[in-house]
Structure 1
Amino acid sequence: MSDVFAVDLALDLSPNLPDAVLAHLRRHLEADSADDDSDEVDWPDFVPLLADRGPAAHIGGLLTGDLHRGPHHWSLTARQEIHAELLPDLVALAEMLAFNARTDGVIGQVRFYEDEIPELLVNRSGTLVKVPLRKAEQNASRHLP
């Protein structure tokens, strides 16, 4: 059994994203950042969390990560498999993203790859809040068609 988590991020970031935050985020998106000239090269244990691409080994579908500058904001979308020992690093990254997010609300989700129900990552006024979901009750009043 593997300790892998499925991570999905989708959010818009401030158009005035600080250069240091932008460089850090780009480093997470690059598979090989050893040639990077930033101060983070001195971090020997740095692991890019959003850099994998191609078929997912455990969660199905594709692994992806993309940062795009629009006319009024930056947009980030990523889908990755993260090992359990990297979850603290992921939380730190998600906290940075929430602080720089353009709007409040859901910015992503994390779930153990064998589970059906994720934990939501929510931006509340620049603070990351993790919201665990649970299965709907059998007699719930709302049903999908």
Structure 2
Amino acid sequence: MSDYYDLFLAVDLPPDLPEPTLQELRWLLGQSEAPPVLESADWEPWGGPWQVFAGGSASHSFDGADTSLLVPAVDRPNPDGGVPWALTIRTGIHEDEFGVVMEVVEWLLRQATTQGWVGFLRYSASHGVQHVIRHEGGFDVVDVRNAWKQISRSWS
């Protein structure tokens, strides 16, 4: 039996994202044809590129659906009036594909404007969750540890 990662990302991208980058992102999301050149990862060792963030179906390894959505954030314009792109991704990743998908995540987060918490990773072989934290120098994957004293609220 294989293990999987559950990846969730939510970021803003600049309004003036270069067209080749936007086209590649749309292709990765399953929303357009492949651009002539792909910059997001070194696909050759993986047998060729695939649309790693194409959603729209039930997750094959976690409850819920794999999904991806890229929309203009018209209700949150930048101070200069530009409208950023809002991107949300939730996808299951086979452990054998984890390396190349994280290359794509790195490429994607280099384009993003969001700082701080941008998502999480969850591994099917454990109950652990890791936060994805973006900063100027790149991003970190940070383990979440149980607090000494847990505070919980019941919503019933």
What is the TM-score when the length of structure 2 is the normalising length? 0.77
Give the letter for the 2:6 counterpart: A
Task: Please give the alpha-carbon distance, in whole angstroms, between the structure 2 residues aligned to 1:63 and 1:12.
Answer: 19
Structure 2 CA distance for partners of 1:5 and 1:37, relative to 1, 3 Å: closer
- Aligned-residue CA RMSD (Å): 2.2
Match of 1:68 in 2: 71
User: How many positions carry a matched residue from both structures?
Assistant: 139
Structure 1: any 5+ residue segments left out of the alignment?
A: none
Match of 1:92 in 2: 103
Do structure 1's residue 107 and structure 2's residue 118 form an aligned pair?
A: yes
Contact 2:15 2:85 in 1 (8 A): yes
Contact 2:7 2:93 in 1 (8 A): yes
Task: Please give the alpha-carbon distance, in whole angstroms, between the structure 1 residues aligned to 2:101 and 2:49.
Answer: 12
Task: Please give the alpha-carbon distance, in whole angstroms, between the structure 2 residues aligned to 1:116 and 1:61.
Answer: 17
Q: State, as a whole percentage, how many aligned pairs show the same letter.
A: 26
Match of 1:47 in 2: 50
What is the TM-score when the length of structure 1 is the normalising length? 0.82
Segments ≥4 residues shifted beyond 6 Å: none
Give the letter for the 1:64 counterpart: T
Structure 2: any 5+ residue segments left out of the alignment?
A: 75-82
Do structure 1's residue 143 and structure 2's residue 141 form an aligned pair?
A: no
Q: CA deviation at 1:113?
A: 2.1
Contact 2:8 2:89 in 1 (8 A): yes
